[in-house]
Amino acid sequence: MEPFRFKVGARHAVPLRQRLDVYLVHALEGRVPRGRIKEALDRGLVTVNGRAAKPSAWVREGDEIVGEIPDVPSRAPRPEALPVRVVHEDADLLVVDKPAGQVVHPGAGHFRGTLVSALMGRAGTTLSDLGGPDRPGIVHRLDKDTSGLILVAKNNRAHRALAEQFQTRSLAKTYLALVRGRPEFDQGSVDRPLGRHPKIKEKMAVSDRDTAREALTRYRVKERYKYAALLEVKPVTGRTHQIRVHLASIGHPIVGDLLYAVRHQSAGGQGAEAPRMGLHAWRIELAHPKSGKLMKFEAPLPEDFQKMIDEAKKAK
């Protein structure tokens, strides 16, 4: 914690009707970002004249402001005794079936319970370090709410070989996606560039800007239901949120997708909420990073995903 005490007007010139959070940014001489100051205020760690205050409170001449700024939590992953569903393991490669709801590596707001921490907590497991200290062994990633297969490199040689397969697109991934609506055709593709959403920083969007990157997704209808459909989806490129954005762009958002579906609705068509996002990394085909041998892996549908399909089948 970083403690502080200020008497307004004693050292800092304060314009009339100055917000408390803005005042503290200047009073702390820019050492602390406004976001951390807001966190301290929201947690009641800052008082004005002995009373907890909101970020929008106005400061006045003579106010006494006392508080402390919480320390930034370390992003470095730590070993944790968490279960890991191992599909395959050898001296170079680990294939894991990640559950929905688990973050792959530490990031904003997610420092514990990650797949990386679970891997570090496995006795005798070595991991590559080419991805940096926050991402040991991680060659690619899955979104938090996507379940299924993910490849982990156990040494740097394997990491380079796997990364090359992703770069050259010689590695094939197939997802199962439960989407809302019934696609008109049995198969199709979406070839639309993707870029950052112009207004919402957490989202990607179909874009024609110069900074947008090419993105190609192929799909095939596996089953049709009354209000939904189950698709086999093969992303040719590997952009952030690619499958989610592309399917939403053709009018078939993934069931339970809180970011890209207009409503968080189940596949049954009755307005009930879906228990999770209906996207699962189902199959993967690759050349072994050392021997070059062709390898194929498949992760069975999780129980909660299967229940969503069963609900879609029963819809009337």
List, in order, residues 6 or more apart from 101 with CB less than 8 Å away: 144, 145, 276
User: For residues 63 and 57, is the Cβ–Cβ distance under 8 A?
Assistant: no
Task: Say which residue the tokens 């200290």 belong to.
Answer: 133
CA dist., res. 201 & res. 241, Å (int): 13
- Catalytic residue, chosen from 97, 143, 145, 257, is 143
145 catalytic per annotation: no
Which domains does the chain possess? 2-69 (3.10.290.10), 74-168 (3.30.2350.10), 170-316 (3.30.2350.10)
Residue segments in the chain with a per-residue pLDDT below the cut of 50: 270
pLDDT, residue 55, reads 87
User: Which pLDDT value is given to residue 272?
Assistant: 57
Helices (H), 100-241: 115-120, 156-168
Query: What letter represents residue 279's amino acid?
Result: L
**Radius of gyration over alpha carbons of the chain, in Å?**
24
**Distance (Å, whole) CA 50 – CA 66:** 8
Q: Which residues contact 40 (CB under 8 A, 6 or more apart)?
A: 46, 67, 68, 69, 70
Cα gap 265→263, rounded to integer Å: 6
pLDDT at 7: 86
pLDDT value at residue 69:
85
**Three-state SS at 26:** helix
Neighbours of 164 (CB within 10 A): 13
